[in-house]
């Protein structure tokens, strides 16, 4: 299974978020609006994953939304939220996860309206768990288009450049009260292994709210702090 994307909650507009990262030497773009959720985003792609900086666009719509991700955004406010793993068959995955003892929400149809007026569609599957300071389990996505078609389209639109294709991840580091317990729970959810094809998952002891603490890229040489999130990124020059 692969990491699909990282959710980072912000109180910064997509234009401001993408500008921050572009000024830091990266290539980020504005994504668009989730009209049914009251949210909007900025995005930065790697070769086979992306980072999503998600913020509220319409407070009334967001407040009325029962969507698990929007509920967590409203609870957390800012900082790393959760991670999404990619599947090519959410219906089958939902049955497997339920069989492992994890109640689910979905699969549910989702869509985003881009700034160019294009509608992007996908399906989501969540674990039914309370929103709290405990580490949220990952959620899952199935895209309408096959990966090769979707990534080719993103390259054609300029969202993925040669620079983005070099941004490979090393690890996602989660801060938790009991690393062994959290790792065991994730292994149970994922069928016995937490090994992803495109990054490592690491659980380290910490205090306070349990969340993703650090996004670590290969060849990291500097730290960038953005909206209470730590990114260990390559140095330039």
Do the bridges between strand 104-114 and strand 119-127 make them parallel or antiparallel, or are there none, so unpaired? Answer: antiparallel
Do the bridges between strand 211-217 and strand 229-234 make them parallel or antiparallel, or are there none, so unpaired? Answer: parallel
Distance CA 133, CA 155 (A): 37
Give one DSSP letter per residue of 38-81, joined into a string. TEEEEEEE-SS-EEEEEEES-HHHHHH---HHHHHHHHH-SEEE
- Dihedral class, residue 15 (left if φ above 0, else alpha if ψ from -120 to 50, else beta): alpha
At 71, list the tokens.
Answer: 């509920």
- Predicted model pTM: 0.95
Closest residue by Cα to residue 6 from 236, 235, 234, 226: 226
Distance CA 154, CA 84 (A): 19
Distance CA 71, CA 151 (A): 29
Distance CA 83, CA 136 (A): 9
Distance CA 115, CA 177 (A): 41
Distance CA 222, CA 233 (A): 6
Domains of the chain by start residue, with CATH: 2-234 (3.10.180.10)
* Residue-by-residue pLDDT tens, the chain, 237 positions: 999 999 999 999 999 999 999 999 999 999 989 989 999 999 999 999 999 999 999 999 999 988 999 999 999 999 999 999 999 999 999 999 999 999 999 999 988 888 778 888 999 999 999 999 999 999 999 999 999 999 999 999 999 999 999 999 999 999 999 999 999 999 999 999 999 999 999 999 998 999 999 999 999 999 999 999 999 999 875
Query: In this structure, what are the phi and psi dihedrals at residue 47, rounded to the nearest 5 degrees?
Result: -70, -25
List strands edge to edge, sheet with 220-226: 200-205, 169-176, 211-217, 229-234, 220-226
Distance CA 141, CA 122 (A): 7
pLDDT of amino acid 237: 53
């Amino acid at each position: 299974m692969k990491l699909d994307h990282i959710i980072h909650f912000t109180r910064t507009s997509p234009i401001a978020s993408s500008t921050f990262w572009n000024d830091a030497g990266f290539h980020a773009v504005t994504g668009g609006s989730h009209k049914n959720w009251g949210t909007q985003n900025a995005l930065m792609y790697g070769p086979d994953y992306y980072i999503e900086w998600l913020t509220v666009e319409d407070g009334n719509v967001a407040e009325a939304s029962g969507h698990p991700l929007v509920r967590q955004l409203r609870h957390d406010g800012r900082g790393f939220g959760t991670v999404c793993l990619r599947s090519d068959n959410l219906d089958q995955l939902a049955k497997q996860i339920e069989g492992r003892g994890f109640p689910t929400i979905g699969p549910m149809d989702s869509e985003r309206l881009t700034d160019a007026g294009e509608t992007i569609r996908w399906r989501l599957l969540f674990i039914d768990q309370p929103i709290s300071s405990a580490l949220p389990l990952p959620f899952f996505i199935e895209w309408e288009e096959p990966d090769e078609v979707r990534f080719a389209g993103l390259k054609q639109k300029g969202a993925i450049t040669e620079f983005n294709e070099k941004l490979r991840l090393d690890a996602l580091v989660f801060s938790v009260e009991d690393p062994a317990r959290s790792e065991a729970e994730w292994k149970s959810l994922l069928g016995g292994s937490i090994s992803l094809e495109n990054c490592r998952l690491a659980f380290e002891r910490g205090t306070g709210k349990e969340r993703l603490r650090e996004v670590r890229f290969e060849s990291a040489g500097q730290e960038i702090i953005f909206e209470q999130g730590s990114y260990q990124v390559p140095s330039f020059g």
